[in-house]
Structures are given as C-alpha cells and as structure tokens.
A and B are shown apart, each in its own frame.
Chain A
Amino acid sequence: MTDLLDVRAATVAYRTRAGIVTAVNSVDLTVGRGEILALVGESGCGKSSLGRAVLRLEPLAGGEVRFAGDDLGTLRGTALRQARRRLQMVFQDPQSSLDPRRTVRQIVERPLKVHGIGSPAARREKVAETLDLVGLGSRFLDRYPAALSGGQRQRVGIARALVLDPELLVCDEPVSALDVSIQAQILQLLLDLRERLGLAMLFIAHDLAVVRHLADRVAVMYLGRIVEQGAVEEMFALPRHPYTQALLSAAPVPDVAAERARTRPLATGDLPDPLDPPSGCAFRTRCPHARPLCAALRPELVHGVACHRQDELPPFVSPLTHLGG
C-alpha cells in the first residue's frame, strides 16, 4: 500500500539579505494512513518550513510531495482542490489564526463555503457536528474568538481543519502556546480524533515528552536535515544520534531527585549560522563525539541515523539516572 504522504528530497530555501538559507535540505519522510509522525527539533531546524511545504504554503526549491500517490506539484484545478480538502493544517497560535471579526460558526463553516460543499442547511448541520466532535457544544456557535479561552480557540482551529473530513492533519506546535493543564486536553482530543476518524498527522513539536505520548514514529531535524528517525519507543529508549541524545538528556523532568543528580549538558554552545552551515555533519560543532571525518563528509541516513560514528558511540546513559535504562 502506498503511504498517504510521501515527501521525497524536499528542499525549501529562503532568500535573505545576507544570502540564501536552505531551511529544509533534501528531506525524505512518509506518513501512513492513521499514523502520527512527529517532526521534532529546535527553532530554526526547518520543521515548520517542511510542514508548510507539505501544504504548499511554501514553495519547494527541490523534491516533491506526494499525497495518496499524486504529486501535489503537478496537480491543477479541481484535482488540486480535491487533494487540498484531504490535507489540513492546525496552527500554533489560535489567537492569530482565527479571524476576530467572525463567529465560531462562520470560522468553521468557511472552508465548506470555499470548497462549495453542501446546502446552507447541510453546512449548518456539519458545523454543529464538528464542534461536538472537538468538545465544543453548539452554545459556542455565535461567540467570537475574543470570548474564548486559549484552549477553546484551539478547539475551534481543530474544528475548522476537520470540517472538510481530511485524511491528514499537519499540526504545527498546536499546544505550545497553551498552559500545561490545557495542553493535555488538546493532546488527548487529537488522540481521540485519530482513534475515531483514522486521521493521520504530521505533528511538529519541540517538546519531546509530548511526542513520546502522542506519536507512532519520530523524525528529528537539525539545521534542515533529518538526523534520526524511527519508532517512538525505540528512539526514546535508545537514541542513537548524538543530537537526539542531547535533546533527550536536556529535557527537564518533574522529579527532584533525578534533576538534582543531573550531569552537565551533553550539547554545548549554539546553533551554527544557517547562512554558513558547517561542512560535513552540521551537528559536529556541538557534538562531544566529533572526529575529523565528521567535518570532511556529510553522513547519510543509514538505518535511520545520520552519524558516521553510530556503531562506535558509547552506550547512551541519560544524565537523568533513571532514564534511558
């Protein structure tokens, strides 16, 4: 069976005053039907650019995005509109992604109108049904975004994405702007929706703990490239790329004994300048295991890991003593 989403050698580049920044550099990834793939990395790694490129909100400088077998770049007219229906986005900040002058009903109905779907009565019914699905009753229909809490706004954002019955949601940091007790509501909603609707998701995130409990597979990005990908359980139990190890060991846990026993951070220093990325492996300037080879030659993804030294690295020991065991 073909994957629902198949991204091949995708490249996204931006022209800046200082030169060209290659935000996404020849990335391959797939998302199966009903699967949640988490794309993780720190700011500037290219994860959001890749998510936007999948939805063609960002032009590709190279490569292709295939959805259900079709190359989105070659689709035109009705075929493109049809494909777009099946592929929707949930944004990070529900505050700025919802039109403040429209009611919840108008916001959620709009995609149906744009795509010319249903009679007014049918649309009305579909909007009410979708609001129920995201846990907002019909009493919210005539409210404006300003009268909603952050969590309620994000539910509206999800309803707007769901109203077209998509098969894939691209979620770009959908909970990072929310308080932690509200985050959990939205994350559980996304899991429930996947269960009920068989939705696939490309879930863009920086919070590894969220990803651990949400995703089936994980792809880790650093400076425009995927450095490691694999099944969530395996990667969290045994991260193999030094950057994945650094990320996992840097994430704080709410456990006093573990945090007080924490050793020094694995990754030191800063992200390199994306205008002038390091030769070879982009992570080598911060990597505790770097060798001259790492500067000379860029490692390809082999068995899901892009590291020359993946077979000779010492076993990963989390600085949080009871992790990684």
Chain B
Amino acid sequence: MSSLLRITDLSVEFPGGVRAARGVSLEVAAGETLAVVGESGSGKSVTALSVLGLLPEEATVTGGRIEFAGVDLLRCPRRQLNELRGRAVAMVYQDPLTALNPVLTVGRQIEEGLQRHLGLRRRAATVRAAELLDLVGIPQAARRLRDYPHQFSGGMRQRVVIAMAISCDPRLIIADEPTTALDVTMQAQILDLLRRLRDDLGTSLMVISHDVGVVAGLADRVAIMYAGRVVESGTAVELIGAPKHPYGRGLLASVPRLDAPSRVRFAAIPGTPPDPTALPAGCAFAPRCGHVVDRCRDADPPLLDAAGGRLVACWRHAELALGGAG
C-alpha cells in the first residue's frame, strides 16, 4: 500500500538542547488511521505539528523528511504549504477554542475555508456550512451558524472544529488529543463521530493521544513514542493486544481497566521519564526498564522489523517474547 504521509527520520530540537523528536519515522496509508501514543514529553505532538509546519518559532527541524502525497513538506514553498493546510490536510486540536476565532461567527469561519479553498460563492458556502454542522450533529444547524464560539459548549465546539476540518474534503486529518479536554460521555460522542466521518469520507486519520483506550477503537495501526522516539509500532490488534517493547508493556499494564477484576495492584512503571536535555547514552527507557542489560546502556537500539509488520526498538524483545516476561 502506498503511503499518503511518510515521515522519515524527523528530528526536532528546542533551545537548551531539548531533543523533542529524535529520528521519528512514521507512515499513514490512504484511508488508514494511525494512532501515535505516548505520555507527555514523548514527542508525539511535536511530530504532528511538524507535518503542518505549525511548530513553535523556537523549535528547529534538525533533520528528516516529511512527504505528503509526494510533496516534500519541509522544503516546499510556504504558499504551497498554506494551500495544502486546511484543504488536503486538516487539523483537530485538543482545545477547540485555540482553533476558533472568538470574534467571528462559526458560520463565517466555516464559509471562509469553503470560499478560499473550494471557490464557493458566499450563498453556496452558507448552505454548505449548515450541511456540515448538521453532519457533525449540531442541532438547528442553520440557526447556529450565526452564533459565536463562546455560545457553544466544549463538546459542541469540538464538533464545529471537526466540521471545519472536513469542510474541504481533506485527504488527511490530524487530530491532536481530540477528546482530552472533554468529559467521558462527550468523549464517547466525539469518538463515535470521528469514526463515522472517517468511514463515510474515506479520509486518512493520524490521531495523537496519551490514552490507549481512546485509540483502541479508532486506529488501524499504532505507534508508541517515548522520549522523542518511536519505540514500537504495529497493527492496533497486535500491538495493543500484545506489546513487545518493555515500555509498551508497562504503559498498557499501568492503565487501570474497567474490564479487569478489581483489587489488583496498580502496575506502575518505576521512576520518571528522562530529562530531554540529558538523555542517557543508550536506550532512553533503560533507567526504568526491568530487563536492562549492559548493552541497553551503551547503545540506543534501532527500530527494527520484529516480524509480521511489527517494528520494535529493543535489544532484548525477541528473548523477552520467548520468555514471556511482562
């Protein structure tokens, strides 16, 4: 399958020697949903923002390539990037308020994209905007076009942002923690909406999340990031069902589960993530890993094929799998 988005060996640094992304490689195929999972500081959001050229000013891309439908996004002219953004690639943010202009009605904001990217006339854009609001489940859509963002609840605002994201029929939607700011009953509704829209429109989706549960029902493939690197990737079924990297195993085990018998101990990963300005020489997870050997401290393991389309960055994953160590 050909990839729509291909990120190769991406590295991003912040001032003070913070290596936020260290050689990240990811692919999203047409029509596919990739989930990038990691905890704070893992580099997942930086990776997503790099695709859209939306990194904060102080960040520097120090290496790598990002290709979208054959276009080199890191080297294409700004004008071309702007044209792609909002049309072929759309973004859904964690906080819908950052994506919406507080002084414009939501109708105006949706119409703007339709007029600029699709060349619709004002009247046609208004009709289409109402259709879009209706599609994302906003009651009395035509009337609500005249409302401002603050007149919507958090969940309804996220629906507005999703309506804007799909308005120009994008090929890829990047959703950065799309439900993290929402309560659980609203989260369930937004996830249901994203799933339906993606299936109906055939859009590719790259979803960034700290919550394995949130991506479990959405993702075809999952990549787990830790300290600026992808440590493991594979199909959602295989990876979430049986993670191979010790960090992936620890992360999955530390999620308290509604469907597990209660009164088991909380399975924490000991220690804390490393300081991004002072990463250890070898594997960044080594200081917290229960399976560490000398080799792990000496050299950072590359992300290598572990059979069946799985990639794992761990020197010991094969023996750990054989031994069934958890």
Could you tell me which A residues sit within 8 Å of B by CB distance? Answer: 42-43, 149, 151-152, 179-185, 187-188, 191, 206-210, 212-213, 232-233, 236, 246-260, 262, 264-265, 267-268, 270-271, 286, 320, 322-323
Contacts and interface: CB of A to CB of B under 8 A. Distances in A.
19 contacts: A42-B186, A149-B273, A180-B39, A181-B250, A184-B266, A185-B266, A185-B269, A187-B256, A187-B266, A206-B183, A209-B256, A209-B257, A212-B258, A233-B262, A250-B185, A250-B188, A259-B213, A260-B217, A270-B155
B216 A254 contact: yes
A264 B217 CA distance: 12
B185 A209 contact: no
A265 B192 contact: yes
A255 B259 contact: yes
Contacts of B241: 256
Interface residues of B, number: 47
A182 B272 contact: yes
Given A179-B39, A232-B262, A256-B237, A207 B214 contact: no
B142 to A, nearest CB: 19
Given A180-B210, A251-B184, A270-B155, 17 more contacts: A42-B186, A151-B272, A182-B268, A183-B266, A184-B266, A187-B266, A212-B262, A250-B184, A250-B187, A253-B259, A254-B257, A256-B240, A258-B216, A259-B218, A262-B217, A265-B185, A322-B259
A185 B267 CA distance: 8
A60 B273 CA distance: 42
Interface of B: 39-40, 153, 155-156, 183-189, 191-192, 210-214, 216-218, 236-237, 240-241, 250-252, 254-260, 262-270, 272-273
Main secondary structure of the interface of A (DSSP, over half): helix
A254 B268 contact: no
A207 B40 CA distance: 19
A181 B268 contact: yes
A79 B212 CA distance: 49
B262 to A, nearest CB: 5
A128 B183 CA distance: 39
A270 B186 contact: yes
B153 A254 contact: no
Nearest to B209: A252
Contacts of A191: 265-266
A249 B258 CA distance: 10
Contact of B184 (A179, A233, A247): A247
B67 to A, nearest CB: 29
A223 to B, nearest CB: 13
B166 to A, nearest CB: 20
Given A206-B184, A260-B217, A185 B258 contact: no
B184 A253 contact: no
Contacts of A188: 265-266, 268
A252 B259 contact: no
B322 to A, nearest CB: 24
